């Protein structure tokens, strides 16, 4: 088990407003189990099993067992079972009782959204339908569908964005395969709730990062952190004018489990830390100033080819709806990067 970074995060979660005892002897299906949020969520449940004798059973939906084994190496996996399936291909089978489902599996690479938009849509919509059918069949107590802030499209002007403020999505762009399929999946959740009485709610996740990122992580936050670790300039591939909304990994995990217990069926909730709001350029400058060496700087180098980046967006995710349930984010941007950088440094040492 990791002895730094995640242990600190998990101990903070155990002493937080999350009523973890509600999950004693319960069973979970977590999809996206080899992704960033899914893997940390499962590690936290395994940690709670060991520390609190929670005895939660975790069914982790994966495509690659070898990859999963590597991720969960060092954890007590007595209560962890893999469910091997390709979502959207109707090969999901689980012969077990289930209390809770958190559906995280999704295409996350921008390049794939552009190069394989059909597959992006099918994975989202058909895969979510499979999960919802399973939830109805198993009569789960509660389910959370993990959506994205990209469902808001492009708001007309910079503003606090509440769950009701859906903006424009360009349907002539293949890149819209991601936000539009996320919208459809949210509607599917509403339909299953109305037609089958399913207690399912949606978490619209801000950009999530922190301790626990996987070695393969290449999103902008990991690139910035690795640049300062390696003594390199931070290179932006856009002007960096988009406003970013961020949430620390442990705060996001807490939100998903909190929504399982306290969220209202058919409702969507922004999962963000409002104090962690800044443009991509401002974030790069903050990382460079606080964690870089003298002489390191922020450089703009825009590629000629289409990299599939999301269109420039200006919004500030309002998290008051989720906070009204009693949830609170605790880790600000500077501390999030400090913990991310510590984690990456310790991970590099293990691999060397």
pLDDT digits (tens, 9 = 90+) for 281-321: 999 999 999 999 888 899 998 877 765 666 677 889 999 99
Degrees, nearest 5: CA angle 185-253-277: 85
Separation of alpha carbons 221 and 343, rounded Å = 13
Separation of alpha carbons 318 and 333, rounded Å = 17
Query: In this structure, is residue 285 part of a structural domain?
Result: no
Query: In this structure, is residue 64 part of a structural domain?
Result: yes
Query: In this structure, is residue 156 part of a structural domain?
Result: yes
Separation of alpha carbons 17 and 131, rounded Å = 29
Structure tokens at 15: 């002493």
Amino acid 249: pLDDT: 97
Structure tokens at 150: 């990209």
Separation of alpha carbons 330 and 6, rounded Å = 15
Amino acid 25: pLDDT: 98
Amino acid 69: pLDDT: 95
Amino acid 311: pLDDT: 67
Q: Residue 178 sits in which domain range? A: 6-211+245-275+314-332
Query: In this structure, is residue 293 part of a structural domain?
Result: no
**Residue whose tokens read 């999962």:** 271
Query: In this structure, is residue 302 part of a structural domain?
Result: no
Q: Which CATH number fits the domain that encloses residue 250?
A: 3.40.50.720
Rounded to two decimals, what is the model's pTM?
0.93
Separation of alpha carbons 166 and 3, rounded Å = 42
Give me the number of domains the chain comprises: 1
User: Which residue spans within the chain are E strands per DSSP?
Assistant: 27-30, 57-62, 80-84, 100-103, 142-148, 160-161, 200-205, 207-209, 234-236, 243-248, 268-271, 277-279, 298-300, 316-317
Separation of alpha carbons 243 and 282, rounded Å = 9
Strands 268-271 and 80-84: unpaired
Amino acid 94: pLDDT: 94
Query: For the stretch 139-166, what's the b/e string if a residue is b when 16 or more beta carbons lie within 10 angstroms of its beta carbon?
Result: ebbbbbbbbbbbbbbbbeeeeebebeee
Query: In this structure, is residue 239 part of a structural domain?
Result: no
Query: In this structure, is residue 236 part of a structural domain?
Result: no
How far the first Cα of the chain sits from its last, in Å, is 18
Structure tokens at 55: 């005895």
Query: In this structure, is residue 182 part of a structural domain?
Result: yes
Name every residue whose Cβ is closer than 8 Å to that of residue 102 and which is 6 or more positions away in sequence.
28, 29, 30, 31, 38, 41, 143, 144, 146, 256, 260
Q: What is the mean pLDDT of each run of 10 residues along the chain (352 residues)?
A: 76 97 98 96 97 97 95 93 91 94 90 92 95 98 96 79 91 94 98 98 96 88 94 90 91 98 98 94 95 90 70 86 97 96 83 51
């Amino acid at each position: 088990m990791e002895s730094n970074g995640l242990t600190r995060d998990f101990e903070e979660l155990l002493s937080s407003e999350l009523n973890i005892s509600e999950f004693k002897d319960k069973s979970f299906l977590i999809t996206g189990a080899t992704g960033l949020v899914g893997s940390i969520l499962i590690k936290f449940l395994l940690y709670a099993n060991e520390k609190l004798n929670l005895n939660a059973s975790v069914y982790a939906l994966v495509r690659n067992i070898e990859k999963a084994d590597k991720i969960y190496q060092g954890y007590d996996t007595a209560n962890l079972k893999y469910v091997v399936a390709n979502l959207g291909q109707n090969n999901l089978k689980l012969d077990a009782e289930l209390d809770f489902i958190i559906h995280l599996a999704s295409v996350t690479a921008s390049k794939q959204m552009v190069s394989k938009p059909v597959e992006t849509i099918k994975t989202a919509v058909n895969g979510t339908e499979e999960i919802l059918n399973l939830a109805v069949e198993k009569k789960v107590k509660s389910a959370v569908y993990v959506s994205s802030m990209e469902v808001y499209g492009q708001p007309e002007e910079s503003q606090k964005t509440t769950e009701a403020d859906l903006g424009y999505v360009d349907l002539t762009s293949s890149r819209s395969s991601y936000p539009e399929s996320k919208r459809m999946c949210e509607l599917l959740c509403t339909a299953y709730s109305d037609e089958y009485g399913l207690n399912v709610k949606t978490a619209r996740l801000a950009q999530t990062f922190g301790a626990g990122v996987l070695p393969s992580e290449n999103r902008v936050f990991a690139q910035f952190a690795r640049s300062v670790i390696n003594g390199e300039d931070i290179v932006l591939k856009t002007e960096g004018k988009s406003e970013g909304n961020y949430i620390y990994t442990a705060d996001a995990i807490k939100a998903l489990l909190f929504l399982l217990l306290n969220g209202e069926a058919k409702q969507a909730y922004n999962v963000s830390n409002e104090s962690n709001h800044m443009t991509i350029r401002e974030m790069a400058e903050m990382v460079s100033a606080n964690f870089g060496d003298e002489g390191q700087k922020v450089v703009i180098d825009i590629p000629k080819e289409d990299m599939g980046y999301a269109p420039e967006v200006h919004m500030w995710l309002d998290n008051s709806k989720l906070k009204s349930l009693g949830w609170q984010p605790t880790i600000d941007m500077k501390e999030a990067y400090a913990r991310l950088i510590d984690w990456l440094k310790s991970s590099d040492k293990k691999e060397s």
